[in-house]
Amino acid sequence: MSETSTSAADGPGDSAAPFRSRLAFDLDVDICVVGAGLAGLTVAREAARLGASVAVLEGRQVGWNASGHQLGTVLPGFGLPISDLIERVGLEDARELWALSKEGAAYVRAAATEELIPGIGLSDGALEVSNVDAGETLISRLQTLSEDFETEVEGWQVDRVRSVLKTGRYFHGIYYPKAFQIDGRKYVHGLAALATRAGARIFEDTPVVSIDFSGIRKRIVTPSARLRAAHIVLAGNIHLGAPLKRLSETLLPVWRYAGVTEPLGERLHDVIGFTGSVNDSDGIDHFRIVEGARLMWASPETTWDARPQRFAGAVQRRIATVFPQLGKVPVAETFGGAVGLTVHGMPQIGQLRKGLWVASGFGRQGLNTSAMAGQLIARSILWGDERWRLFSPFELVWAGGATGRVAGHLIGMWGRGAAAATGALARYREGARARERIRETRLAEANLRAGTRGPQRRPPGAARPVPPPPAEPPPSEEAASVPSQESEQVQDRSM
């Protein structure tokens, strides 16, 4: 999930979401986009800017699901770890994919300005923290990001991380100075306004009943009208409905929830001194300060739909676990949305058949990927840009249906539990080392006061010293004056 401010809990009737009518007349366009989320709206805006006639069909309202209820953090990359990406497609293709993700982040930054979207609330910097003491892994990843993928990053040592996050749960960190965060809900509605300004037409409360993909002009049937288009872009995530059930079943639906606290005053800044967004390397926690002194925190996750209000207590407990100094903070608002996760961990972007495109599977991917997909597909349709083929290795894979949901939930629970156990072990070892250093310091001080250096500890791996053999006693005067039997025998033989 990305990010939003406290306006995320507002309903679709707020000032950021103007009323849009349903499609009530037959229409013929160049491009029909199914789904008015971040990816679909980006396709619509870019295609309209390039001169195409565009219609967007949304079964409910703009940004009603995850696109309007996300944390708004924007940085390059994908949900698939960079090492796995290189292993899957090779270094060169991985670098091209990464460059596309950077283009997506740049697109969001260019659109998310106060001039284009008032109140967007952009702030800079994102920090990824580790739950374990993994300094060598950090160095390797920093080298990969900066040298192979030309991404500006900084490595933060444990002391620096803990100077801005007053908790012992986090160790090293990677700081992205070019990353940023915005008000996610304002962005999705601002993007819809920009698409409309460019010439795209958005119809809400217009679900798709059926689609005929055959022929040069595809036919779409809605409850009150029909539409014809040369190209159809499926950008509806897991909510594409019965006509596109096979595509929806390639995604594992996961509901993520978040909460926003009441204003916490200066005590919040005493505990969290970082103004950007923070997420941990295990994907468990994601948080940042909003509106000056409120804390937005995303953590709980399920594979079934539930009322977000049910998770206020879970958010509250998680905050107290990570930052016990804050105590039991009041959670003013909660929100949530369903995201679609792919089996291979990469988004679904490309052409399924001539004139039929897909832009989906953005769960745990970030806003940069939905922006990248919108740009890429619009340019592919109108300019013949072939870079979408870089995503060909990540084909559509069935997510397992209901059984897959249960398995995904169990795997997720196991993953979180394993991450928590690994983090707890890392913190225990750190505490044990600290206690040993304190004990040795106290022992040295006691020995110094007693006037002795005390027993000296051997360095690790050093051999135990071997004591010298006992010295033979010197002979007595009597023994020296009496010749031995052996010397007498020698004398006799010489005579």
**pLDDT at residue 240 is higher than 60:** yes
| pLDDT tops 90 at residue 319 | yes
**What is the spatial distance between Cα 322 and Cα 299, in angstroms, rounded to a whole number?**
12
Domain extent for 111: 1-121+182-250+343-399
Query: Measured between alpha carbons, how far is 275 from 288 in angstroms, rounded to an integer?
Result: 7
Is 455 part of a structural domain of the chain? no
Mean pLDDT, rounded, for 42-48: 98
Mean pLDDT score, 147-174:
95
Q: Is residue 78 part of a domain?
A: yes
Which residue bears the tokens 């977000």?
A: 308
Mean residue pLDDT of the chain comes to 82
> Quick one: which of 289, 286, 296, 292 has its CA closest to 260?
296
**The pLDDT of residue 16:** 47
The domain tally of the chain equals 1
Dist. CA 338–CA 468, nearest whole Å = 76
- Distance CA(306)–CA(144), nearest Å, equals 40
Residue 242: inside a domain: yes
Mean per-residue pLDDT, 95-119: 96
Apex 473 CA angle, 467 and 474, nearest 5: 135
Sequence length of the chain is: 495
Q: Is residue 489 part of a domain?
A: no
Is 297's pLDDT higher than 60? yes
What's the average model confidence in pLDDT over 280-286? 84
Q: Is the pLDDT of residue 14 over 80?
A: no
> Confidence band (pLDDT; 50, 70, 90) for 108?
very high
CATH number of the domain encompassing residue 393 = 3.50.50.60
Say which range, 175-179, 191-195, 227-231, 435-439, has the weakest mean pLDDT.
Answer: 435-439
pLDDT score, position 1: 38
Residue 457 has a pLDDT of 53
Strand blocks (E) in 182-239: 201-203, 210-212, 218-221, 226-234
Residue found under tokens 């037409």: 201
Residue 230 included in any domain: yes
DSSP 3-state of 111: helix
Establish if 323 belongs to a structural domain: no
- The answer, yes or no, to whether residue 65 has pLDDT greater than 50, is yes
In a domain, residue 16? The reply is yes
> Over 60: is that where the pLDDT of 237 sits?
yes
Of 326, 296, 314, whose CA–CA distance to 6 is shortest?
A: 296
- Out of 37-46, 354-363, 395-404, 443-452, pick the least confident: 395-404
Examine residue 99 and state whether it is found in any structural domain, yes or no. Answer: yes
Stated pTM of the model: 0.78
